Amino acid sequence: MKIGVPREIKDHEYRVGLVPSSVAELTRRGHAVLVEHGAGAGIGFADADYAAAGAEIVERASRVWAEAEMVVKVKEPLADERRQLKSHQVLFTYLHLAPDAPQTRDLVESGAACIAYETVTSPSGGLPLLTPMSEVAGRLAPQVGAHCLEKAQGGRGVLLGGVPGVPPADVLVLGGGVAGTHAATIAIGMGAEVTVVDRSAEVLRRLSAQFGDRVRTVFSTRDAIEQLVARADLVIGAVLVPGAAAPKLVTRSMLATMKPGAVMVDIAIDQGGCFETSRPTTHSAPTFVVDGIVHYCVANMPGAVARTSTFALNNVTLPFVLALADKGWRRALADDPHLRSGLNVAAGQVTCAPVAEAHGLAYRPAETLLA
The residues annotated with a catalytic role in the active site are 96, 270
Handedness of CA 327, 331, 334, 339 (dihedral sign): positive
Distance CA 37, CA 254 (A): 48
Closest CA to 77 of 103, 58, 102: 103
Q: Rounded CA gap, 255 and 269, in Å?
A: 18
Rg (Cα) of the chain, in Å, rounded? 21
Q: CB neighbours of 227 closer than 8 A, spacing ≥ 6?
A: none
- Report the alpha-carbon distance of residue 42 to residue 48 in Å, rounded: 14
3-state secondary structure 36-91: ECCCCHHHCCCHHHHHHCCCEEECCHHHHHHHCCEEECCCCCCHHHHCCCCCCCEE
Question: Would you say the C-alpha torsion 312, 308, 145, 264 has a positive or negative sign?
Answer: negative
φ, ψ of residue 280 in degrees (nearest 5): -60, 135
What 3-state class would DSSP assign to 301? helix
SS (H, E, C) 145-205: HHHHCCHHHCCCCCCCCCECCECCCEEEEECCCHHHHHHHHHHHHCCCEEEEEECCHHHHH
For CA atoms 216, 222, 228, 229, give the dihedral sign: positive
What is the CA 238 to chain-centroid distance, rounded? 11
